[in-house]
Amino acid sequence: MEFWLDLNEEQRELRDWVHGFAESVIRPAAPEWDEREETPWPILQEAAKIGLYGFEFLANTWSDTSGLSLPIVNEELFWGDGGIGMAISGTSLAVASIYGSGTPEQMVEWIPQCFGDPADPKVGAFCSTEPEAGSDVASMRTRAVYHEATDEWVLSGQKAYATNGGIANIHVVTASVDPSLGSRGQAAFVVPPGTAGLAATRKLKKLGLRASHTADVFLDDVRLPGSCLLGGKEALDKRLARAREGHRRSGQAAMRTFELSRPAVGAQALGIARAAYEYALEYAKNRVQFGRPIVENQAVAFALADMRMEIDAARLLVWRAAWMGRNDKPFTAGEGSMSKLKAGEVAVAVTEKAVQILGGAGYLREHPVERMFRDAKIYTIFEGTSEIQRLVIARAVSGVQIR
């Protein structure tokens, strides 16, 4: 599949359709759900009813061989609002894990259950980060022990900052099967609805993305049938045997999920950045100081020029990485990490400049740039901090195991 910057008609129609939903449904509701700090179930249901939230929509989006449909959708959703956008898209991380590690039978069984149906929408949760193992995934303490007599796995441990943790219909949990192998001894498991032993804290209060549910998840002797191990026991045994013999693998369960999702996460940051830029541009055109619109002042105009340039540059990196990932092109220079790193840092810088351009007004909740500024910050932290992304890139380009 060749790489083109010009969207085809189907992609343009998809972009305009999602943009229309973001403009007419998400934006008007954004301040309320940010203030309430609750999952916007009515908006999730509305998205499901029109076909914007569900397994079929995600499958159709993924079927685009250019890889661009998913970042296009994410950018428009998060242009509407970061918190509501994450409430809608947060399930995709669990889906990415099932898709990346599961068998075809597991995909058919579990992915639809992540979404529910339009009459009763559900969400999924991917649980990887731990209090002592955030960026250092190899230090994961959650354990999975296999009981051959009953063909059961028993999971025990704690997960931190899980999007949709506790309220999800399907939880995907990463755990260590053989701690001596570090990250190579880990696997991913599906925890079905109603499984005993899984509990979560109340919704964590956050700086931004407040409409998206985040909680810590506790696993107290969670018993799972063997069929809940993503990829199956035979594949896991072979992989562990190769690791014990000293063979290196290309990654592990959590990292495969992040690799699949990094360009899409970068697109989310882009949406927030673009929304802040557009609002600041319109404000600068209409705000009069010293007898003229402030956009006529070089300092403001140059800031807006930089904002637009950085957004466009980040989008090019996101689209390139999305195309490469969809077409199985290896990230030999950490291109996936580049896209997320650049987009996240652009989102923080652009939203901060938007607040500055509005001056005192930008600090008030009356204007959305205040909320956008709060929402943007997480993109230099979650799914790999900016420092970790730089580490990935540096290792890729140098061939040296930098620490």
Query: How far is residue 64's CA from residue 333's CA, in Å, rounded to a whole number?
Result: 24
- CB contact at 8 A, 262 and 383: yes
Kindly list the distances between the CA atom of residue 325 and the CA atoms of 73, 224, 316, in Å, as whole numbers in the listed order.
Answer: 17, 32, 14
Q: How far apart are CA 401 and CA 381, in angstroms?
A: 22
Question: Catalytic one among 46, 345, 370, 383?
Answer: 383
Q: How far apart are CA 369 and CA 360, in angstroms?
A: 12
As a whole number of angstroms, the distance between CA 229 and CA 188 comes to 6
Here the tokens at position 242 are 């190769």
Distance separating alpha carbons of residues 172 and 124, to the nearest angstrom: 8
Contact by Cβ (8 Å): 152, 226: yes
Contact in structure between 317 and 338 (CB atoms under 8 Å): yes
Query: Quick check: 124 and 63 in contact, CB under 8 A?
Result: no
Q: What distance in Å separates the CA atoms of residue 75 and residue 297, rounded to the nearest whole number?
A: 30
Are 222 and 198 in contact, with CB atoms under 8 Å apart? yes
- Residue 117 CB contacts under 8 Å (≥ 6 apart), including other chains: 48, 54
CB 343 within 8 A of CB 314: yes
Q: What are the backbone angles phi and psi of residue 186, rounded to the nearest 5°?
A: -105, 160
Q: Which two tokens stand for residue 257?
A: 């999920």
The residues, any chain, with a CB within 8 Å of residue 403's CB and separated by 6 or more, are: none
Angstrom CA distances, 226 to 71, 132, 236, stand at 35, 27, 12
Alpha helices in 173-232 (DSSP H): none
> Distance between alpha carbon 344 and the CA centroid of its chain, in Å?
12
Residue 56: active-site member = no
Q: Which residues are catalytic?
A: 383
